[in-house]
Chains A and B, each alone.
Chain A
Amino acid sequence: MAVVIENVTKCYGRLRAVDGISLNVKRGELFAFLGPNGAGKTTTIKMMTGLLTPDSGTITVCGHPMATDSQLAKARIAFVPDQPFLYGKLTAREFMHFVGEMYGIDRNILPARIEHYMAQLAVTGYADQLAEGYSHGMKQRVVLAAALLHEPEVLVVDEPMVGLDPRTARTVKDIFREWANAGRTVFMSTHTLEVAEAIADRIAIINHGRIVACGTLDELKAKAAREHRLEDIFLELTDPKDPPELEEAVIPM
């Protein structure tokens, strides 16, 4: 297993943002993680990447528990957040060099690898300009290229398609699919149901901090036992009959 999440809970005050979820994500799998706003997607991802500590339960990445062996776990993972972070006063090339050195990539192969991923994600044209002038889409491409640089076993992406033009979005989808085909794992959180429907091997839907469905598209269709579009299944499973008490707490997502 690439990622094992066992009975993980995370509370913000009195609100259970993630409520005892368990997930197993296999190697070579493209896993889509869906849910409405405030369902607990980003909190789960932050715990997977070691940014937050679960209140209870364990998360293991490639056999390394995030709680006790976080450095080795993090060495095998790459995270692309929904709000891409770049140092404004660094160029894309300088940033990628930094990331490459941080992950210990051999200096002899690092420049060629940087060129390869920059070309693949069409970053080369602005690679030597300061990042402070980039648009959201440009930043997203650089961050994705940097995340791929050390060829992680698990790639975790939060809303990967936001701000990307159709051509780049297509490239990114192709990369994710090929990445999974090559035996690596992609864990993708998204609101773009068409993307999940088109490329995901398995889909999990989280609502009010709990996994309400998990399986292949066909399995989800069988569970919903009605329309054949993911959108309909999603809407049915996440029906806000019992909205969380947001007045109690504002959850920073």
Chain B
Amino acid sequence: MSAMETPALMPASSANEPTFWLLMRLKLTILRNRVRQLTDQTPLQLLMVLGFLATIWLGLYLIFDQVFRFIRRFEKEAIIALPYVFHLFFFSMTILLGFSTAVLVYGSLFAREEPAFLLTTPNKPRNIVAVMYVEALFFSSWSLVLLGIPLMVAIGSVQGLPWHFYATFIGAFLGFVPIPGAIGLVIALLIALFLPRMAKRSLMYASAVVLMLIVAFWGRLWVISSSESITRRWVHDLLGELSYLKSVMLPSTWVSKAIQFSIQDNPAEAAFYLGMTVLTGLCMSHWAISFVAWKLKPAFGRAHSAPTHSRKYTGWASRLLTFVAFFYLSKRMRAVILKDVRHFLRDPVQWSQLAILFGLLSLYLFYLPRSKPDGFSMQWQALICFMNFVAITLILSTFTSRFVFPMVSLEGKQIWLAGLWPLTRSQVMWAKFLYALTVTAAAAVPVTYLSIRAVELPLIMGIAQMSATIGCCIGLCGLAIGLGARWPNFKEPTASRISSGLGGTINLIASVALVAVNGTLFAVTCLYSMNERQLLKLEWHSAAALSAAIVASVGSAAFCMAIGIRRFRRQEF
């Protein structure tokens, strides 16, 4: 037993080789411990997550159910439209799953400490790759589970389909997921081999390309669908744009056909396409795992040893930007903001996600109704004004939940530094609040202005919408900074994980609630203005509702900042 006994090496025979199943057992133990920890320590968070999941599922199911019931009324159109729904859905899923599997596999095989540990053990690279691949498939397929199951259950219930439809779609899902997954696995390897020091930037560029393709695709559909009234040619052009989605070479076509034939009660054809999907998934997984395992060690070496050119930062741009934007603050408060600005600008993952969010805002602007020669009717103006307000504030709430909430937590293990700064802790909090508010308002105000111009809103309603939007910015930033300080997570260095924790979930709920309250009050503002004065004057009901919305926002911000500052003052380092 003692270490000093004669060396007794394990026999390194194939019988004793560590297996795939041992590593799988390890992953399952980790998962079990994670769930056990959640149920023991933060059952509320677990319940909230499950509640959210159930709500999303139920909501999606109800939406899909209504859509399919609506389509069913038009029998001919339903026959044409339904297959396109499947083809588009699975085609989108192919891109999404391939992309997310590539990101997850790269993180688990080339970026974490875990593969370094496993590669020093007598484990075959094939086992390591296979386990990481299965783990990545498990996590990346959540999007399919979340969207696909309510979609299929809704079809099943609307059409009154038998049990074997449900078995077919579950089999089709399981068979389909490894196809984009295998592509993602190989992409991750290629990035490690050829772009080892540009993994984050590759992700960013790929996201930008995908976003641009989506915008271009929807833009073309938009042009076609809004150019003419519904004619035979219109239908022909629209379906022509979508025809390549039905290519027989696409796995999304096979899985779509398997489900379609199952709906049509044609088990032989359904089984053929299902078998084709499953076999392709298995073969591609086998080849991808073998290939990646073969190249794992050189790729790992490249990912961890390729030279990078160290860039010199002068920091003048960030300094100038901070000085101009926050000239009214003291030097010390500006220094705190400058630190946060530089941190943010030098982390491509952070600002690429911000770019995607602002891309969504731009997309929204792109689809805004343009002014018409004969002008908008008053009802349309009021409705679009209200919808613009809700859309912009909802996107802002996502922004503050994802980017602003983690700002206090991101001080991380160096939080003691904040305690040593020659600033009061409330000044540190206000500096972060003002930084968040400036960025949020810089995005929201121009978008709101353009939306006001687009629908030719009268001046008074324009001012009302702008005031409510700025009020909402103040509210959302106050909530995010205050609650971020109230429920900080200094151990977690990743912003996205901080925002998905308990505090982040509470903040998200509070933010959505604030948007709902503001939306309701702003709806009242629009409604009363419309009834009385052709949107040219705010009568007292409208003014009261608008004031209430602004008071609710500013009050929420003040309250949350107060509890955040109180907690931050007591924070021990």
User: Residues on A close to B: CB < 8 A?
Assistant: 10, 12-15, 43, 49-53, 71-72, 74-77, 79, 81, 83, 85, 87, 89-91, 94, 98-99, 101-105, 109, 112-113, 116-117, 120, 130, 148, 150-153, 175, 178-179, 181-184, 246-252
Contacts and interface: CB of A to CB of B under 8 A. Distances in A.
A14 B309 CA distance: 11
Interface stretch (B99-107, B115-123, B317-325, B531-539): B115-123
B29 A94 contact: yes
A12 B306 contact: yes
Contacts of A120: 3
B66 to A, nearest CB: 41
A117 B298 CA distance: 34
11 contacts: A72-B12, A81-B117, A87-B26, A90-B30, A101-B22, A102-B123, A148-B3, A175-B3, A182-B7, A249-B310, A250-B307
Interface in B9-36: 9-12, 16-18, 22, 26, 29-30, 33-34
Contact of B4 (A15, A98, A181): A181
Contacts, number: 135
A151 B119 contact: no
Interface string B274-302: 00000000000000000000000110110
B16 A104 contact: yes
A90 B18 CA distance: 19
B7 A151 contact: yes
Given A75-B122, A102-B123, A112-B1, A89 B30 contact: yes
List the 7 closest A-B pairs by CB distance, nearest first. A13-B307, A104-B16, A249-B307, A75-B12, A75-B122, A104-B10, A102-B18
A150 B432 CA distance: 52
A85 B37 CA distance: 21
A175 B304 CA distance: 31
B120 A79 contact: yes
Interface residues of B, number: 43
Given A85-B117, A112-B1, 17 more contacts: A15-B307, A50-B120, A50-B297, A81-B117, A89-B33, A90-B29, A90-B33, A98-B26, A101-B18, A102-B22, A117-B3, A178-B4, A181-B4, A182-B3, A182-B6, A249-B309, A250-B309
A102 B307 contact: no
A103 B121 contact: yes
Interface string B446-481: 000000000000000000000000000000000000
A43 B306 CA distance: 12
Contacts of A72: 12, 122
A53 B18 contact: no
B45 to A, nearest CB: 16
B249 interface: no
A252 B9 contact: no
A139 B10 CA distance: 25
A53 B113 contact: no
Nearest to B112: A85
B124 interface: yes
Contact of B9 (A75, A81, A99): A75
B305 A81 contact: no
A113 B119 CA distance: 24
B5 interface: yes
A74 B120 CA distance: 6
Nearest to A120: B3
Contact of A150 (B10, B30, B119): B10
B306 A130 contact: no
B305 A252 contact: yes
Contacts of A71: 12, 17, 122, 124
B114 interface: yes
Contact of B304 (A74, A112, A249, A252): A252
B386 to A, nearest CB: 47
